[in-house]
Structure 1
Amino acid sequence: MTDIIRKDSTYAWYVAVLLSVAHLISFVDRFVMSLVLVPIKTELLLSDTQLGLLHGTGFVILYTVAAIPLGWMADRANRRNIIVAGILVWSLATAACGLATSFNSLFLARVAVGFGEAALVPAAMSLIAAYFTRAKLSRAVSTFTMGASLGKSVALIVGGLILAWLTARGGAMLPGLGHLSPWQGLFMAAALPGLVVALLLLTVKEPPRPVTGADTAKPGLRDVFTHIGRHRAAYLLHTAAAASAILLVQSYAAWSPTFYIRNFGMTPAEAGYLVGMVVLVAGPAGHLTGGFLTDRLQAKGVGGAPGLVIGTMLVLSIPLAVIFCTTDNKALSLASYALLNVTITAAAPPGLSGIQLLTPERLRGITSACFMAAITFTAIGLGPASIGIFTDQVFQDEKALGSSLLLATFIFGILGALFAWFSRAPARAATLAET
């Protein structure tokens, strides 16, 4: 549909919220695994390194390969339909995780989940940028990214309740599939909501493409790389800063339930519920804070506002991580974990909105895909796996999981803050060039 769409309208916010729900479902299917790392390790006899590979590296293999061609499609084809197709693929792949009986079969299913989810962000970012003006873009993006934190919460809270129910019954019997372990049944349940969201997304209208000036040309990778090359300092530094922040978000999301299981003697269901409740409040607060601060600083004419927000939040995260990773007081641990979630998730909206501000509309699909491919490969592919490697190889003690998380926070928090600070000047110059 190509009706004229009024930007910043009530309908535009409806689209942003619905895309946020799709983002939520994608993160449920992505992060439900963090709830069952311990039972998977026990049943399949895996190491922490293999768990990290399942959670992160398996997911990113096809995600990073498919993201760029799907971004190319988002600049040409119906973006809503691309998202709907992606949801169907990743939902079926999540169900396939529930049928896995070995590391190899589970790894392949995770690869397929990543392939389906690669369709979401490039098309969604292009849609949001088409529905909103620059003045409200960061808040719209923060609405979308808020779905990520809510998805983690739903995966942990609702997933924890379902896991406890399945565990009490010794698993599940499904017609034609036979008996499934509780963790396998959980994956099957997680696959169902995506089908409902795919139907709801059929109500979204495809906005018209720009029809005047340079934006009439059909963009390609050469156009994208030419544009990025002109502003390479801005893009490279901003991407490195955003990747550092998201790496910490993904690492803590992947391993926090296991941290509470090992350090405080909780069951997987108890740890999932507790961590999920914290993320339910702190995650959206962080996303909204990051989007609001970025828009406010932009409105005040602060140069490189996204980089300033990312860097500030990473610096604030370090002392909070020290408390979380070292205290043996559960109440203090939860309080510091909540504040840590606020600071690291607040870095997500300026990461995505910063790329939109640097990029002309006709190139946003492919550019967002390139950005997300780099972020996903670094943050998801390396983050959770690096924690497992630190635990197995550096500290050689599964009880040292907190030390592994803290080591990653020092490394990537400091590097990310430096990248963010130095990105400000070139980002401001590039943004002014595109306005």
Structure 2
Amino acid sequence: MPDTRTDHDSVSAGQHHSTMRGWYAVSILLVALLISFTDRLIINLVVDPIRSELTLSDFQISLLQGAGFAIVFALAGLPSGRLADSTNRRNLIIAGITLWSSATIACGLAVDFRFFLAARVAVGLGEAALIPAASSLIIDLFAARQRGTALGIFALGATFGTGAALFFGGLMLAWITAGLFETIPLVGTLSPWRQLFLLAGLPGILLVPFLLLIKEPLRRRSSGLLPLSGVAARLIADNGTVLRVCMVKGALGMGDYALIAWLPTLLQRAYGMSPLEAGSLLALSITTSGVIASLAGGTLSDSFVRRWGVQTRVVLLLGCYTLTTIGACVIFFVETGEHAAIAFAIWALGSIGGYVIGHVVMQESVPNEMRATTIALSLAVTALIGIGLGPTLVPLVAEHIYGGEGALQSAMATVSLVAALVAFAIVWPPVRKGIVALRAQFP
């Protein structure tokens, strides 16, 4: 008979089935995640105008895209995770969204590199609170058989947020250039890229009243905040499964942010597209793949749990990282903007699917008392390795390996391929254990 056991802290289905309250929370948190990714990534559409007006180099731009955001995002993530494991998670999210939205507006007022960098640091500080608190909250609202689906739907916020940053950012730039906002006092006199940041910061502030309607759920089987020694012991238990999934997110994040940061610029520089054309094409690419990956990854992994047990969920990561490797290889050979978008879609299908499944694997491998901390650790690793290195490695690889900024495409492909191969190597031990558990179901 198939093993249909759920994890140790599941409660009876009658007590723990999803409710309207739970799905309302998921939907609002999805929108919050969408806004956070939009505010994080909107800079990628206006690289050249910012560089020109503030007299910046590609390297300085990469710091604004990556390290300037990532370092504080990583450093603030772990304290935010610990807070989410011990305090009201909804209120923590509200504080975070208020901070990062205000900081996004401040980006549009930057007068030099240092001002802009400080604003990006504040964006990272605010966004560090969202995913650990929201993920922990969602886990307490749903049973193990539904968590993959719930977290997959929540993860759509990242997908749509990336797409929204590219599509609506491009659309907004077109409206701004056409003079649609020039009659607004103070705003209308600013450069188009500055107006874009000001307008991008408003939705987060408007979402706060809807967040206030979310009620903090009871923590399931929680006995208080776990000491750091206990957290460390759980991370390295079971051949380091949780730590490995955290690390693999960082490795894949390096490829994610190398592509997200520079693809809009590549499409404009090399293939003659406008910001709206580049944004629309990439938004379509990542949104289509992201929706498929988020929903299919969550529901398929839940199906594995129902049929063969929780321990088999991790096996699906093997297929996800195969897709990222294929996508990275294809990027080397594309010759049109449309083909580049298709390659990016293949990459995103694997990366986002792996993100959703890995998210649930980590949450099911630790007790309630350290769930938000675990997610915060994975985000810290993603920020330091992925966001911190990905955007910056691309111009460095282009310059020092391929001979100059004209080799942007080859540099992006190289960084993403290395990221995919490293992810394979890191995640193989827990995947192999999952394969053994799966085979045991078929004597």
For the criterion TM > 0.5, the same-fold answer is yes
Tell whether 2:316 aligns with 1:316.
Answer: no
Question: Which runs of structure 2 are paired with 1:44-83 in the superposition (5 Å)?
Answer: 44-83=54-93
Aligned partner of 1:113: which letter? V
Are the counterparts in 1 of residues 317 and 431 from structure 2 also a CA contact under 8 Å?
A: no
Aligned partner of 1:336: which letter? A
Bigger drift between 387-396 and 413-422 goes to 387-396
Are the counterparts in 1 of residues 45 and 279 from structure 2 also a CA contact under 8 Å?
A: yes
**Alpha-carbon distance, 1:9 to partner:** 2.4
**Distance of aligned partners of 1:290 and 1:388 in 2 relative to their CA distance in 1, 3 Å threshold:** farther
Bigger drift between 222-231 and 84-93 goes to 222-231
Tell whether 2:421 aligns with 1:414.
Answer: yes
Aligned partner of 2:42: which letter? V
Bigger drift between 199-208 and 336-345 goes to 336-345
Bigger drift between 239-248 and 405-414 goes to 239-248
Tell whether 2:212 aligns with 1:202.
Answer: yes
Question: Which runs of structure 2 are paired with 1:309-348 in the superposition (5 Å)?
Answer: 309-348=316-355
Bigger drift between 323-332 and 297-306 goes to 297-306
Q: Which residue of 1 aligns with 2:110?
A: 100
Q: Which residue of 1 aligns with 2:101?
A: 91
Tell whether 2:409 aligns with 1:402.
Answer: yes
**Alpha-carbon distance, 1:139 to partner:** 1.3
The CA distance in 1 between the partners of 2:16 and 2:319, in whole Å, is 34
**Distance of aligned partners of 1:190 and 1:68 in 2 relative to their CA distance in 1, 3 Å threshold:** same
**Alpha-carbon distance, 1:5 to partner:** 7.4
Gaps of 5+ in 2: 1-13, 438-443
Q: Which residue of 2 aligns with 1:14?
A: 24
Q: Which residue of 1 aligns with 2:144?
A: 134
Aligned partner of 1:70: which letter? S
- The root-mean-square deviation of aligned C-alpha atoms, in Å, is 2.5
Q: Which residue of 1 aligns with 2:399?
A: 392
**Distance of aligned partners of 1:390 and 1:305 in 2 relative to their CA distance in 1, 3 Å threshold:** farther
Tell whether 2:57 aligns with 1:36.
Answer: no
Are the counterparts in 2 of residues 34 and 255 from structure 1 also a CA contact under 8 Å?
A: yes
Bigger drift between 339-348 and 319-328 goes to 319-328
The CA distance in 2 between the partners of 1:223 and 1:428, in whole Å, is 28
Q: Which residue of 2 aligns with 1:161?
A: 171
**Alpha-carbon distance, 1:113 to partner:** 0.1
Percent identity over the alignment is: 34
**Alpha-carbon distance, 1:169 to partner:** 3.4
Are the counterparts in 2 of residues 308 and 420 from structure 1 also a CA contact under 8 Å?
A: no
Aligned partner of 2:315: which letter? L
The CA distance in 2 between the partners of 1:117 and 1:88, in whole Å, is 10
Aligned partner of 1:130: which letter? D
The CA distance in 1 between the partners of 2:435 and 2:22, in whole Å, is 27
Q: Which residue of 2 aligns with 1:272?
A: 279
**Distance of aligned partners of 1:18 and 1:286 in 2 relative to their CA distance in 1, 3 Å threshold:** same
**Distance of aligned partners of 1:47 and 1:305 in 2 relative to their CA distance in 1, 3 Å threshold:** farther
Q: Tell me the number of residue pairs that the alignment of Structure 1 and Structure 2 aligns.
A: 424
Gaps of 5+ in 1: 431-435
Q: Which residue of 1 aligns with 2:256?
A: 249
**Alpha-carbon distance, 1:304 to partner:** 5.1
Question: Any idea what the Cα deviations from partners look like across 1:400-423, whole Å, max 9, x if unmatched?
Answer: 111011111221111111222222
**Distance of aligned partners of 1:330 and 1:98 in 2 relative to their CA distance in 1, 3 Å threshold:** closer
Equivalent position to 2:35, from 14, 25, 36: 25
Question: Which runs of structure 2 are paired with 1:162-241 in the superposition (5 Å)?
Answer: 162-169=172-179, 172=182, 175=185, 179-210=189-220, 215-231=222-238, 233-241=240-248
Tell whether 2:367 aligns with 1:357.
Answer: no
The CA distance in 1 between the partners of 2:403 and 2:181, in whole Å, is 33
The CA distance in 2 between the partners of 1:218 and 1:243, in whole Å, is 26
The CA distance in 2 between the partners of 1:18 and 1:282, in whole Å, is 22
TM-score, normalisation: structure 2 = 0.89
**Distance of aligned partners of 1:336 and 1:229 in 2 relative to their CA distance in 1, 3 Å threshold:** closer
**Distance of aligned partners of 1:225 and 1:74 in 2 relative to their CA distance in 1, 3 Å threshold:** same
The CA distance in 1 between the partners of 2:387 and 2:170, in whole Å, is 22
Question: Any idea what the Cα deviations from partners look like across 1:237-262, whole Å, max 9, x if unmatched?
Answer: 22222222232222222211112112
The CA distance in 2 between the partners of 1:180 and 1:122, in whole Å, is 36
SS at 1:209's partner residue? coil
